[in-house]
Amino acid sequence: MHCAISEILYLQGFGTRRVCAGLIQQGRVTVNGQPCTDPFAEFCMDGLAFTVQGQPWVAHAKAYLMLHKPMGTECSKKPSTWPSIYTLLPAPLRQRPVKGGQPGVQPVGRLDQDTTGLLLLSDDGAFLHRMTSPKHHVPKVYEVSTKHPVDSRQVARLIEGVVLDDDPKPVRAAACESTGECALRLTLTEGKYHQVKRMVAAVGNRVETLHRSRIGGLALPDDLAPGQWRWLGPEDLELLRA
């Protein structure tokens, strides 16, 4: 898709159309390594490399990201107590215009402030719906450390199903295994409020730490440190679809 460079900057979240045009006219934008001062110069947006005030960027029609969520952060733009995960993202990702919705990328579900691990974000509404809808049964894997030793009875009950206070229907783990004396690996295909903590409490134990290691076929990379983010590539998106 060919667009004026000012429109490309706007769609990527670098400000209003007027602000983007001003940045270009002031010589603060380079495209493919060359200065660009014409706001109406057209380029193919997909994969376009440019810089804005020295910040390198590659244009994406839709944003698909993974973030290694650290401890002590909230998945909200208006956090109540802890810093927001959005402070870990560059401004363009927070400001991308979204037709009919809130600007910027949105998290695919939420993790509690004391939960760490793989968090996906996007501005693609269809992607957000597919990844969060219980109809699609996208598995999410959690590494759990518990206060008390885990026994085979607790594992069996989590697989068979436990009843939570707000739902008379049993909630089941898609898979569950003990990974240590006080450790579990739990796979869920739905998302309820504090679900892992409440399920573990229902079998007589308590969650001490909680870390999401995988969504679908996509695992949190070992080289992505807490607080770091990266774009999802085509192979990553294929793993999520699978």
Per-residue pLDDT of the chain (242 residues; tens, 9 = 90+): 789 999 999 999 999 999 999 999 999 999 999 999 999 999 999 899 999 999 999 999 999 999 999 999 999 999 889 999 999 999 999 999 998 888 999 999 899 999 999 999 999 999 999 998 878 889 999 999 999 999 999 999 999 999 988 778 899 999 999 999 999 999 999 888 899 999 999 999 999 999 999 999 999 999 999 999 999 999 999 999 87
Both structure tokens of 32: 């493919």
Instruction: Name the segment(s) of the chain with CATH classification 3.30.70.580.
Output: 64-135+218-241
CA quadruple 146, 147, 152, 153: dihedral, nearest 10: -110
The C-alpha atoms of residue 83 and residue 125 are separated, in whole angstroms, by: 25
Paired with 69 in beta bridges are: 117
- HSE-CB at 101 with a 13 A cutoff on CA atoms is 16
What CATH number labels 64-135+218-241? 3.30.70.580
Tell me the CATH class for 2-58.
alpha beta
pTM to 2 decimal places: 0.93
Active-site residue, selected from the candidate residues 38, 46, 112, 167: 112
Tell me the CATH class for 139-215.
alpha beta
The C-alpha atoms of residue 122 and residue 203 are separated, in whole angstroms, by: 35
pLDDT at 100: 82
The C-alpha atoms of residue 235 and residue 215 are separated, in whole angstroms, by: 14
User: Strands 167-171 and 64-69, how do they pair?
Assistant: unpaired
Residues 6+ apart with CB under 8 A from 171: 161, 162, 163, 164, 190, 192, 195, 199
3-state secondary structure of 77: coil
pLDDT at 35: 96
pLDDT at 211: 98
Q: Is 112 a catalytic residue?
A: yes
Q: How many other CB atoms are there within 10 angstroms of residue 188's CB atom?
A: 23
Instruction: Name the segment(s) of the chain with CATH classification 3.30.70.1560.
Output: 139-215
Paired with 34 in beta bridges are: 31
Write the single-letter amino acid at 38.
D
The C-alpha atoms of residue 105 and residue 59 are separated, in whole angstroms, by: 15
Instruction: Name the segment(s) of the chain with CATH classification 3.10.290.10.
Output: 2-58
The C-alpha atoms of residue 76 and residue 145 are separated, in whole angstroms, by: 25
